[in-house]
Amino acid sequence: MKKYITFAFLASLTACTQEIPEPPKNSANIENVSKPPAQPNAVPEVNDANCKFEYMKSITDKVIQQTLADNCARRSTLKTTKHKNWVF
């Protein structure tokens, strides 16, 4: 029993002597406010040359690469079709 009391006493002493961690610093200080935010790279224009697989592979920024691929997949040329009479 004496062992447990000694252990509890030592554990409480070490807990009391530990340093309190410093709170995280706020990133919105005056230095960061005075600097303009970095401009992200622009997504290239959607055209035949930019929608080729080789060009998309050459883009290193994955967000821009995926955005361009999405835009290329969505481009379409809508045409009116002639009405067909379906006969069974």
pLDDT given for residue 39 in this prediction: 54
Which has more confidence, 87 or 24? Answer: 87
Q: What is the pLDDT of residues 7-25, one digit of tens each?
A: 777 677 666 556 667 776 6
pLDDT given for residue 8 in this prediction: 75
SS (HEC) of the chain: CHHHHHHHHHHHHHHHHCCCCCCCCCCCCHHHHHCCCCCCCCCCCCCCCCCCHHHHHHCCCHHHHHHHHHHHHHCCCCCCCCCCCCCC
Q: Per the confidence metrics, is the pTM higher than 0.75?
A: no
Position of tokens 């005056």?
A: 30
Q: What is the pLDDT of residues 30-81, one digit of tens each?
A: 555 555 555 567 888 999 999 999 999 999 999 999 999 999 988 876 777 7
